[in-house]
Structure 1
Amino acid sequence: MTAAAVAAKLSQHVLGGQPRGWDAALALLLVVAGGLVEGAALGALQASGLRRLIPRLNRRRWLVVTAAVAGLGWAAASAPGVFSGDSGSDAEPALLVVVAAALGLGAVMGAVLGAAQAMTVRRLVPRPTRWVLVRWP
């Protein structure tokens, strides 16, 4: 998570308050790269923990799927904040709005990640669709 958060802050610095041209492309690349690092770390740790439970797990495939879904999900969630620019206004969204959006995003991304990971274990575990429910926040 640290890599993804640092990438988001770096991209805001690169933009300097206004998204435009190559700066915007570089900022988006930073956010995506940070998200992929976060997703790869998550996938590697999960694969390590699942090694004893699912010995035939293709750890490389697990890592790639997890990195892609979690990483790109993080990047998609971070991009609006990075590209919002500096409007000169100090108004921030209400805490309730931020919490509701975070809960919604967490529920959706948890289900999407669970479904993607279920596809990687579908031949190795009974009823792999339960994986989606296990991943549900």
Structure 2
Amino acid sequence: MSTTLTTVRKSWFAWVTAGEFTGFLAPALAGALTSSAPLLVLAGIVEGVILGAAQCLVLRRTFHSFDAPRWIGVTALAAGFAWAVAMLAVDNADRLNTLPLPAVVVLAAISGSGVLLSLGTGQWLVLRHHVRNASGWIWANALAWGAGLVAFAAVTTPLWQPGQPTVVITLIGALGGLVMAATMAAVTGFALTRLVER
């Protein structure tokens, strides 16, 4: 890999990890303070705006005439969509428990696929004007976010316990968010440099 691509990858990892971590603090704090689905979706949109802006700091140096406002917009919409789907699942948990297991599995597969593919698909609409075979970005994002969510759960699940103070809940969520952000940034950074290299 050339020095330029190595620089892109390192810069992407640093900025995207910082951006996603900072952005994720909005829904982490909102979730610790309230169970309001609309507020959590709004916090998710804020997360998307911050993540998209951090990514644009690298992308605008990598591609000429990069459409930063559109990238930030589709990233924010995709993040809001992901949080909306998650809130629908949480708010309808009792109803879902009454369905047969095969139906629940199908619904989970459809909604999970939609969430994992939404961000990459939205960003592909912008990226396809700058690289060939940009559709790989969709799958790279699905893999990155899937790995990031697994990492988040691996960190937070054993630490979160009933009855913890809000500060502790928020700090655990922030730690999980940092691990998730770094995981996602590493995978998408690798994918970005491969697309640029081609």
2:52 equivalent to 1:43:
yes
TM-score w.r.t. length of structure 2: 0.46
Asked whether the equivalents of residues 82 and 118 of structure 2 are also in contact (C-alpha less than 8 Å), the reply is: no
Q: State the partner residue of 2:80.
A: 71
How much does 1:127 deviate?
1.7
C-alpha RMSD over aligned residues: 2.5
State the partner residue of 2:122.
Answer: 116
CA deviations 1:68-99 (Å, max 9, x no partner) are 10222123214543x479xxxxxxxxxxxxxx
Contact 2:56 2:71 in 1 (8 A): yes
- Letter aligned with residue 7 of structure 1: A
Identity among equivalent positions (%) equals 33
Name stretches of at least 5 consecutive residues in structure 2 with no aligned partner.
Answer: 1-23, 94-107, 144-198
After superposition, what is the alpha-carbon deviation per residue over 1:45-85, rounded to whole angstroms, capped at 9, x for unaligned?
1111212222221000000000110222123214543x479
1:134 pairs with one of 127, 132, 140: 140
Instruction: Report how far residue 121 of structure 1 moved.
Output: 2.0
Aligned-partner Cα distance in 2 for 1:73–1:109 = 5
Q: Distance in 2 between matches of 1:112 and 1:84?
A: 22
Structure 2: how far apart are the matches of 1:78 and 1:30? 10
Distance 2:28 2:85 in 1: 13
1:34 & 1:69 partners in 2: Cα distance?
13
Q: How does 1:77-96 map to 2 (within 5 A)?
A: 77-81=86-90, 83=91
- What is the alpha-carbon distance in structure 1 between the residues aligned to residue 84 and residue 50 of structure 2? 15
Give the gaps of 5 or more residues in structure 1.
13-26, 86-100
Distance 2:115 2:59 in 1: 20
Alignment coverage as a number of residue pairs: 105
Higher relative contact order structure (alpha carbons within 8 Å, sequence separation ≥ 6): 2
SS in 2 for 1:51: helix
For residue 18 of structure 1, what is the aligned residue in structure 2? none
1:7 corresponds in structure 2 to 30
Encode CA deviations 1:87-131: one digit per residue, 9 max, x unaligned.
Answer: xxxxxxxxxxxxxx7xx84x6533221111111122222122121
CA distance in 1, matches of 2:66, 2:80: 21
Q: 1-side partners of 2:115 and 2:26: how far apart?
A: 19
TM-score, scaled to structure 1: 0.64
CA distance in 2, matches of 1:79, 1:110: 16
